[in-house]
């Protein structure tokens, strides 16, 4: 739900402008900003996030699809966590700089928890797919 919500927000003008500061300073993603305008880039990222969320949600019925969504979400969150090290203003200068985080850095740090959740669902989905059953299906033995 959280990932889909964040993805849906990427379709707003304010979010498109907001993510530009992260993308333009990233050595991994700045090339995308050269290929697409900021609004198109935000829409693409939002679409990828929504697709990942929908695939993860299929876990109880289609664990193979959930594994793909979880892997995609993990890559997304690894990319956004890299912004902690590339975006100016992440460290709090009044507290001595990085690793003390400004509100901007605190905002990015939440992706560490989302990465952990994505890796967890990836592991569960792979295990369920190997066993040929639905992940987290109620009443089924492990």
What Rg value do the Cα atoms of the chain yield, rounded? 17
Q: Is the model's pLDDT at 82 over the cut of 60?
A: yes
Question: Mean pLDDT of all residues in the chain?
Answer: 91
Q: Is the model's pLDDT at 80 over the cut of 80?
A: yes
Q: What is the pLDDT of residues 83-101, one digit of tens each?
A: 999 999 999 999 988 889 9
Q: What angle do CA 97, 101, 107 make, to 5 degrees?
A: 150
Peptide bond into 7 cis (omega under 30): no
- Please tell me the total number of residues recorded for the chain in this structure: 142
Query: For 30-69, b where at least 16 C-beta lie within 10 A, e where not — what string?
Result: eeebeeeebeebbbebbebbbbbbebbbbbeebbebbbbb
- From 8-12, 79-83, 126-130, 135-139, the region with the lowest mean pLDDT: 135-139
Query: What Cα–Cα distance (Å) separates residue 4 from each residue in 16, 51, 69, 100?
Result: 16, 8, 12, 29
Matching residue, tokens 């979880």: 70
Task: Note whether 4 and 54 are within 8 A (CB).
Answer: yes
For the chain, percent of residues with pLDDT exceeding 70: 93
Range 53-81 average pLDDT = 96
The pLDDT value recorded for residue 99 is 87
The pLDDT value recorded for residue 135 is 46
Read off the pTM. Answer: 0.86
The pLDDT value recorded for residue 127 is 95
Confidence of residue 81 (pLDDT cuts 50, 70, 90): very high
Matching residue, tokens 């993860």: 56
The pLDDT value recorded for residue 133 is 62
For the ranges 50-54, 92-96, 127-131, the maximum mean pLDDT occurs at 50-54
Q: Is the model's pLDDT at 134 over the cut of 80?
A: no
What residue spans of the chain are helical by DSSP H?
2-9, 13-24, 30-35, 38-57, 63-86, 103-131
* CB-count exposure of residue 140 (10 Å: 0-12, 13-18, 19+): exposed
């Amino acid at each position: 739900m959280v990932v889909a919500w964040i993805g849906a927000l990427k379709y707003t003008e304010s979010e498109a402008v907001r993510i530009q500061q992260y993308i333009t300073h990233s050595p991994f993603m700045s090339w995308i900003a050269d290929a697409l305008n900021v609004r198109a880039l935000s829409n693409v990222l939002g679409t990828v996030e929504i697709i990942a969320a929908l695939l993860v949600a299929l876990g109880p019925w289609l664990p193979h699809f959930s594994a793909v969504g979880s892997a995609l979400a993990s890559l997304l969150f690894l990319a956004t966590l890299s912004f902690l090290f590339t975006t100016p203003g992440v460290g709090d200068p009044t507290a001595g700089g990085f690793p003390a985080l400004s509100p901007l850095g605190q905002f990015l740090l939440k992706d560490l928890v989302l990465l952990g959740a994505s890796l967890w669902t990836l592991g569960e989905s792979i295990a369920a797919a190997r066993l040929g059953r639905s992940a987290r299906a109620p009443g089924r033995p492990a």
